[in-house]
Amino acid sequence: MKGKIVFEEHMAIQETLGNTKAFAGDSGKWEEFERQILDMDSERIELMDKNGIEFAILSNNAPGVQGILDTNEAIKVARKANDAMAEAVIRNPKRYGAFAALPMQDPDAASEELNRCVKDLGFYGAMVNGFTQKDVQDSAIYYDIPEYRSFWATVSELNVPFYLHPRMQIESRAPIYDGHPWLKSSPWGFAVETSIHALRMCGSGMFDDYPKLKIFIGHLGEHIPYDLWRIDARMEFSRRAYRGKRPLGEYFLDNFLLTTSGNFSDPAFRCCLEVVGIDRMFFSADYPFETMEDACDWFDATQVISEDERLRIGRTNAINYFNLEFLKK
């Protein structure tokens, strides 16, 4: 299929590059990842052309700004990453958009940077790499807590999506993975981290306060669609400190949108379509950690969807959602 649109597609600047290496470093592919994630002009555009991807919304690598302990440093690095994406968009305005990296260490600074990126730079929303560390290595701040309500007010008012991207749990908080570091990163731990964060948001009441919020999660929903029925069913027995006004599954269906990033499985795709419906499904690759070729070869051929549905998930859902009317010309 030609004209596909993708938006879990990572870039890095030197300041954020190193902290991805820890979970991509033993693959033997680091040199390739490094070359590809730093490039926004040549190889990336060639691969987009070759694989029928017309437009990509770029985002900073994980954990990126969320792994920076010093708040002022986080603010500076987020601005720098965002400026680098903005420049890439200026060089190739018909091929790229951008999601803001945000210094979540300080909710007000994050709001300010999101405002700047959306209003001044024309960004389409934010991508944040899971919980944020702050001040000390042993820290993990999740955004469902009351301190972030003013930030969510900004996101809601700007009417842009927030893409919640995985990161790896930090060593001191992950004894359950002892002896199994492979389990802690993208094979499993990424989805554990991200799904817990998403469920915490559902249970926090933040979607009662800001019902228009839209949170993207990738990897076909980070395991949640498969378990959505069970979560609601078992919560009949376990609702202590659940602060949502409605059943959890309703928030998941109303406030979350899913991409296919990094999960090119027909059975999992079928499950998502059945649980959340086609209007909440969007194609994405997860470049450079997945090749565009693998993502597109699967998506272009999967028999789980009709040709009309392929066009919607691969293109028109994104055009409508992000108002990419200029791509229709």
Helix (H, G, I), strand (E, B), or coil: what is residue 50?
helix
* Residue 191 vs 206, nearer CB to ligand GRE: 191
What number of residues does the chain have?
329
Exposed / middle / buried, residue 90 (Cβ in 10 Å: 0-12, 13-18, 19+): exposed
The site partner of 13 among ligand GRE, Zn ion, none (C-beta below 5 to 8 Å per kind) is none
Beta pairing, strands 132-134 & 136-141? antiparallel
Q: Cα separation of 204 and 165, whole Å?
A: 19
C-beta separation of 113 from 79 below 8 A: yes
At 319, which amino acid appears?
A: I
Site string for ligand GRE, 253-292 (x = CB under 6 A): ---------x-----------------------x--x---
What is the total count of residues that contact Zn ion (CB under 5 A)? Answer: 2
Dist CA 125 CA 218 (whole Å): 15
The nearest distance, CB 189 to ligand GRE, in angstroms, is 11
Pick from 286, 287, 305, 310 the residue near Zn ion by CB under 5 A: 286
Residue 60 partner contact from ligand GRE, Zn ion, none using kind-dependent CB cut-offs of 5 to 8 Å? none
Return the range that interacts with ligand GRE (CB under 6 A); candidates 17-25, 88-96, 263-271, 318-326.
Answer: 17-25
Smallest gap, in angstroms, from Cβ of residue 240 to Zn ion? Answer: 33
For residue 228, how many other CB atoms are within 10 A of its CB? 18
Distances in whole angstroms, Cα of residue 269 to Cα of each of 51, 73, 218: 20, 39, 12
CB of 181 to Zn ion, least distance (A): 19
Q: Which of residues 86-145 bind ligand GRE (CB under 6 A)?
A: none
Contact yes or no for 56/315 (Cβ under 8 A): no
Which member of 26, 70, 208, 286 is catalytic?
A: 286
Binding segment for Zn ion among 132-140, 228-236, 284-292, 302-310 (CB under 5 A)? 284-292
**Is 83 a residue of the active site?**
no
Where does this chain bind ligand GRE (CB under 6 A)?
A: 10, 20, 23-24, 61-62, 166, 186, 262, 286, 289
Please list the active-site residues.
286
